[in-house]
Amino acid sequence: MIFTKKAEATPEARVAAQPGETLITLQGVERWYEAGGSRNYVLRNITMDIVAGDFVSIMGPSGAGKSTLLNVLGMLDSGWSGSYWLAGEAVHAMPQKSRVALGKRHVGFVFQQYHLLDDLTVAENLDVPLSYRDVPRAKRQALVADTLDRFGIVGKKDLYPQQLSGGQQQLVGIARAVIAEPAVILADEPTGNLHSSQGREIMSLFRELNARGTTIVQVTHSEENAAAGKRIVTLRDGWMT
């Protein structure tokens, strides 16, 4: 897939980290659940750096903690301990409301289940993350138009998710994730519901986005998909191995 042009980044989305500089740092991050008076750990002492422009694939068996780690990175999970810096911001020192606001500014999500809003058209779904950033309406309309063109889905702009194929819905989901030029895209099994040919197309798109400077962290069971990244992080029983 070839993009025709790159949408202009919004001021709200600009991040200090330049390519090769540290964007994410985790130190001693742990996540557990209380059960029967004891702690069941899902993540144990996770320590890692992710630089701007990296493409990291997280692998491991079911229950290893992959999606939990992604939820911590995306600030969808607040019940963890340890230290986490994103774009120079100390996430661990923030109240939950500030974490959510930081996530909306700097993180784009791509989910296995797409999570498009069924009662909104393709164009309206693309507008949603821009509305979170208080982008003026005229600017939002221009960014949506640019993104529709960039992803080659102008002809789908007035359709609803149920009128699209699985591959088309995932393409819209990725377009929605990148429209505001987030610092990092977090993808949780992004090809899990797609045919193999559609999955390869999505991975090709991810490689192209990464080549243009987008930082990507994906969770995957697929060795083929993992190989699309620059490095692989393996989890087993909550530990990095």
Pick the CATH number of 11-240 from 3.40.50.300, 3.40.50.720, 3.50.50.60, 3.30.365.10: 3.40.50.300
Task: Tell me how crowded residue 155 is: count the other CB atoms within 10 A of its CB.
Answer: 9
Sorted by sequence, the CB contacts under 8 Å of residue 1 that are 6+ apart come out as 151, 152, 201, 204, 205, 208
Dump pLDDT digits (tens) for 30-81: 999 988 888 999 999 999 999 999 999 999 999 999 999 999 999 999 899 9
Alpha carbons 183 and 52: distance in angstroms, whole number: 8
Amino acid identity, position 107: V
Dump pLDDT digits (tens) for 76-131: 998 999 999 998 999 999 999 999 989 988 999 998 888 899 999 999 999 998 98
- Give the residue among 28, 68, 77 at the shortest CA–CA distance from 48: 28
Domain locations in the chain as residue ranges: 11-240
Residue 215 token pair: 């930082």
Dump pLDDT digits (tens) for 167-182: 899 999 999 998 988 8
Above 60 in pLDDT, residue 238? yes
Residue 67 token pair: 């999606």
Q: What is the DSSP string of 156-223?
A: GTT--GGGS-HHHHHHHHHHHHHTT--SEEEEESTTTTS-HHHHHHHHHHHHHHHHTT-EEEEE-S-H
Dump pLDDT digits (tens) for 177-231: 989 888 899 999 988 888 888 888 889 989 998 998 999 999 999 999 999 999 9
Q: Check if the beta carbon of residue 32 is closer than 8 Å to that of residue 77.
A: no
